[in-house]
Homo-oligomer: A and B are copies of this chain.
């Protein structure tokens, strides 16, 4: 990322701007697919959604709002990088259920987990993990979640989904912050009594600082830190918590080093101002929450230097530093955690996850563990059957060196996007990415939406994010072969675009 000369499979690619001189994207010879359980390519029978999907949409419309439904799927027939729909259309899936399918559909290793009779009981008897964990629970989380723990963290709290992970991470932050203030003292009766009726001092006016464009979930606590789209937040009561600007960088990053550094400095200054201001307001900032790459908000990047400085600001002001890796975690950026790109030994106080990790939770430093049981608690506290799958996913990632593969595919993808934006400057701009966690902007939202639909009808499933961005979220088994397949189809779409 960010090198002027990108070396890729022996070929030398020039910096993105050089591509402006190329006249048309030329497809490379496609290498054979390396994913054994994959299909050869997309195969389209109808436009999408097809007639069967439309029928089912009508049926489901009696029960739910179906406005967000793309189409109905045949998950039995889906394989590897390909999602098959109920009309027999087979699409190359570069969105993977909003980035939550780590190693493709129906991976043989996961089917094997199901075939093992020793695992049956884990699926059938969901425990209340916080009070009655299964015998293998410590071993299972050691071999799964703890084997990929972020630097400096030996503790993990499992949860069922991304929103619950962040909600409980915030709670851990508030508890830690108040305990720091309280010192050796036990909570007063006034605190205990007022907490029962939602009033201070028991329910203190603490805040979490978040960033404009950030997305951390949709439950009421999370939603107070989410600022990606108004439709997510409209009509829902919220907290008066500070919102800092997230850097709006220019891409490619290495061509705008000075401008970007200035923009990042401006945002960091604002962060410190807000911390001071909210302290004066009597609503001190107990924690700062941030994504390593703002995903839902439009794939906004910031430099490792920005995050290092932000982490220091958090430390200086006594705020916990919470890195939300719900979307970035699990390998898509070419490292297991996106924050590894920052190169820090002590990157965060809390790191939350979900999606590709198949259930949710957060890692934390020792001091973020609540002093008493039941303060962070719910009935299920996660789901051991998902951890069974996660163990296997991690085995596959290691066995097949998938992080290296992602880095390789990601370079090919980003280079292809650079070429395409050079070729179609009136349609595309701002190609950016880390690993296969890439994005590119369309001219406007209408253009973006039209491109997404056209690509889908040609057998490529992509996602939108932000105002007018296209986001790429393939599985970790997305190889250079698939990149080339995609680029050819995408080129056709763009060529036909009026």
Question: Is the Cβ of A235 less than 8 Å from the Cβ of B204?
Answer: yes
Question: Is the Cβ of A372 less than 8 Å from the Cβ of B97?
Answer: no
Interface flag for A256 (CB, 8 Å): no
CA distance A358 to B380 in the complex (A): 10
Residues of B within 8 A of A106 (CB): 121, 124-125
Interface flag for A42 (CB, 8 Å): no
Do A230 and B127 form a contact, CB below 8 Å, given A72-B135, A161-B164, A376-B65?
no
Nearest residue (CB) in B for A170 is B220
Question: Is the Cβ of B134 less than 8 Å from the Cβ of A72?
Answer: yes
CA distance A199 to B233 in the complex (A): 10
Least CB distance, A75 to chain B, in whole angstroms: 4
Do A68 and B373 form a contact, CB below 8 Å, given A106-B124, A138-B63, A221-B219?
yes
The 5 closest A-B pairs by CB, nearest first: A67-B373, A220-B221, A68-B373, A198-B238, A203-B238
Residues of B within 8 A of A224 (CB): 198, 220
What are 9 A-B residue pairs whose CB atoms fall within 8 Å in the complex? A70-B132, A72-B133, A74-B135, A98-B131, A100-B128, A100-B379, A124-B389, A163-B167, A187-B234
Residues of B within 8 A of A218 (CB): 167-168, 171, 377-378
CA distance A277 to B64 in the complex (A): 35
Question: Is the Cβ of A137 less than 8 Å from the Cβ of B203?
Answer: no
Question: Is the Cβ of A63 less than 8 Å from the Cβ of B142?
Answer: yes
CA distance A141 to B179 in the complex (A): 45
Q: Is the interface of A mostly helix, strand, loop or mixed?
A: loop
Do A154 and B355 form a contact, CB below 8 Å, given A132-B73, A375-B231?
no
CA distance A369 to B135 in the complex (A): 43
The B-contacting residues of A in range 60-106, CB under 8 angstroms, are 60, 62-76, 78, 83, 86, 97-98, 100-101, 105-106
Residues of B within 8 A of A160 (CB): 160-161, 164
Question: Is the Cβ of B197 less than 8 Å from the Cβ of A227?
Answer: yes
CA distance A203 to B105 in the complex (A): 39
Question: Is the Cβ of A235 less than 8 Å from the Cβ of B67?
Answer: no
Interface flag for A472 (CB, 8 Å): no
Residues of B within 8 A of A167 (CB): 163, 218-220
Question: Is the Cβ of B175 less than 8 Å from the Cβ of A235?
Answer: yes
Provide the A402-418 mask, 1 if CB < 8 A to any CB of B, else 0: 00000000000000000
Residues of B within 8 A of A97 (CB): 126-128, 131-132, 379
